[in-house]
Structure 1
Amino acid sequence: MNFQLRKQKILAQLSMQGEVDTKALAQTLGISEITMRRDLNQLSDEGLLYRTHGGAIPVAEPEMPHRFVNKAASNQAAKDKICSKAAAQINDGDVIFMDCGSTVFRLCQFIKNKKIKVITNSMPVISELQNSRVSLNIIGGEYDADRQAMHGSIAIEHIRRYQAGKAFIGVDGLSAKGLFAHSEKEAAIALALAAQSTHTYLLCDAGKIDKPSYLQFAPLEMVYAIVTNADPAALKYCKKKGVKVINV
């Protein structure tokens, strides 16, 4: 059975059941689990499904709007590698900030069993962690339906009341010139989280390296470390600016 036929059967099964399990689906289609995981990762990269720890769910998951789900689903295999490495920086007892970035959201699956406190403005993060060992502090403010997150002056005031050892943020692009965002409100949240944290970790896939976007909002030195799958050679300027690069 070729990939295109498997693709049709996987998506049909997903549509009927609302979720699929990697092992069970591999048995149904008569292929190895390795092949099934590769197929699911490829469909995830195409934005056709959303990968979970043991299988997949539709990108039209009701808890999240279409824009956020498709953004979270794209390049998911790389994001999971980045988040697995980032999770290794988190210890029981830590207090951490998490922003509303789609890569940062993928961190949830790797920290569910850690006894930590998470302060976040992201509704998907809250939904994912609410029945885990993690203690949640929910940032209030104006609700952004597209980003499924809280923003605005009240959100900034909330953040300024707390101190965290680590913040995990995402950006829309970075270069030697600094960090870039698509909107002022997301930039404001990132700046506030970094200001209240001892160390700020930037979770960034290779596609955002040297890709300036709409708004340059902070110097590269604002972050303590970048966790990325990018070629180290593409980030030589980080060392010169005292920014640690954690490669996956």
Structure 2
Amino acid sequence: MYQEERLIEILTYLSNERRISVEKICELFGVSRDTARRDLVKLEEQQAILRTRGGAILPSTRNKIKDYPNRLQTDSGEKFHIGRKAASLIRNGDKVILDASTTVQSCADQMKELDCTVITNSINQAEILSNKANITIHLLGGQLHKEHRFLYGTSVIDRLAKYYVDHAFIGVVGISEHGLTIAHEEDGMVKRKMIEQAKQVTVLADHTKIGITDFYQYAGLEDIDLLITDRAPCLEFQELLSTHKVELVVTEEETSL
């Protein structure tokens, strides 16, 4: 086997097992320890691995969070079904909070023209809802994050503290055993206050967010009541939700009926 072929096989192994030893390379490919070390040196030069004592691991990866318009285009079908289910939970007379996530925007898009009140820090959500005649909108004023189109800061949090609502709909970058996480601390601080002010909290998250932990934790699983997602998570995560008394709604199961 040529070196190039072994390098591909080593990376394939790492993608499944996350780490590999020199001994394992020798065993898999029938090569000497010196050859195995040269393979690892080559992969390190390509910045494909991180060498450790006696082997290698995959380097930590972090996907850059896309800006708001690009996120709107990602998994739009899943967001549509999640947003539709979330919108169906809102009733006449409700007072609700919508955060600035793109999945929550799908909820705003599909809200009926109910006689309800919406509080949001999203200029996109406010614009969408302004076309629905009976909905009263409270746009929280603060500093604008231009790339991700949300308002934040102490003025937003102080204003939120004055409102007590029936329901909050919250988006995430990740939901895992470490709770709800987001890339930007300033966004997370606002979301945390939104959760505190609501009687019922629903998280909207497509399947790619489950099991992910991002930079800033703004809530624990015990702080939410309902998770709406597009695919059933693994049994281990379902048990974790059950332990924290989080109800699970899977839109994929509903659309397949």
TM-score by length of 2: 0.69
Alignment-derived partner of residue 127 in structure 1: 127
Which residue of structure 2 aligns with residue 247 of structure 1?
250
Letter in 2 for 1:237: L
- Residue 116 of structure 1 is matched in structure 2 by 116
Secondary structure of 2:212 counterpart: coil
Greater shift in the superposed pair: 66-75 or 163-172 = 66-75
* AA aligned opposite 1:164: V
Deviation at 1:218, TM superposition (A): 1.8
Between 1:228-237 and 1:133-142, the stretch displaced more is: 228-237
Task: Tell me how far apart the structure 1 counterparts of residues 110 and 78 of structure 2 sit (CA, whole Å).
Answer: 14
1:13-24 equivalences in 2 (<5 Å): none
Question: What is the SS of the residue equivalent to 2:138?
Answer: strand
d(CA) in 2 for partners of 1:69, 1:184: 21
Shift, 1:127, TM fit? 0.8
Partner residue in 2 for 1:25: none
User: What does residue 230 of structure 2 align with?
Assistant: 229
Question: Corresponding residue for 1:26?
Answer: none
Q: 3-state SS of the aligned residue for 1:113?
A: coil
Q: For 1:145 and 1:83, how far apart are their aligned partners in 2?
A: 24
Distance 2:94 2:118 in 1: 9
> What is the CA–CA distance in structure 1 between the aligned matches of 2:249 and 2:240, rounded to whole Å?
14
Q: Which amino acid counterpart does residue 94 of structure 1 have in structure 2? A: D
In the alignment, structure 2 segments of 5+ residues that lack a partner are 1-65, 252-257
The CA distance in 2 between the partners of 1:105 and 1:141, in whole Å, is: 19
Distance in 1 separating the partners of 2:250 and 2:70: 25
Give the secondary-structure state (helix, strand or coil) at the position aligned to 1:230.
Answer: coil
**After the TM superposition, which parts of structure 1 deviate over 4 Å for at least 4 consecutive aligned residues?**
none
Shift of residue 215, structure 1, vs aligned partner: 1.8
Please name the residue that 2:33 is paired with: none
**Aligned pairs, how many?**
183
Q: Which of 203, 221, 238 lines up with 2:241 in the alignment?
A: 238
Distance 1:119 1:109 in 2: 15
AA aligned opposite 1:245: L
8 A contact 2:84–2:110 mirrored in 1? yes
Deviates more, 1:225-234 or 1:94-103: 225-234
1:56-205 aligned within 5 A? 67-132=67-132, 133-205=134-206
Tell me, in whole angstroms, the C-alpha distance in 1 between the residues paired with 2:125 and 2:112: 11
Secondary structure of the residue aligned to 2:67 is: helix
| 8 A contact 2:105–2:125 mirrored in 1 | yes
Give the structure 2 partner of residue 31 of structure 1: none
Task: Give, as a single letter, the amino acid of the residue that structure 2 aligns with 1:182.
Answer: A
C-alpha separation in 2, matches of 1:235 and 1:210: 11
Q: CA deviation at 1:100?
A: 0.4
SS at match of 1:124: helix
Letter in 1 for 2:223: M
Q: Tell me, in whole angstroms, the C-alpha distance in 2 between the residues paired with 1:135 and 1:202.
A: 22
Distance (whole Å) between structure 1 residues aligned to residue 85 and residue 112 of structure 2: 15
Q: Is the 8 A contact 1:112 1:134 kept in 2?
A: no
% of aligned pairs identical?
26
Asked whether the equivalents of residues 203 and 224 of structure 2 are also in contact (C-alpha less than 8 Å), the reply is yes
Q: Which residue of 1 aligns with 2:18?
A: none
Structure 1 alignment gaps of length 5 or more: 1-65
- What CA distance in whole angstroms lies between the structure 2 residues aligned with 1:77 and 1:164? 29
User: Match of 2:224, as an amino acid?
Assistant: V
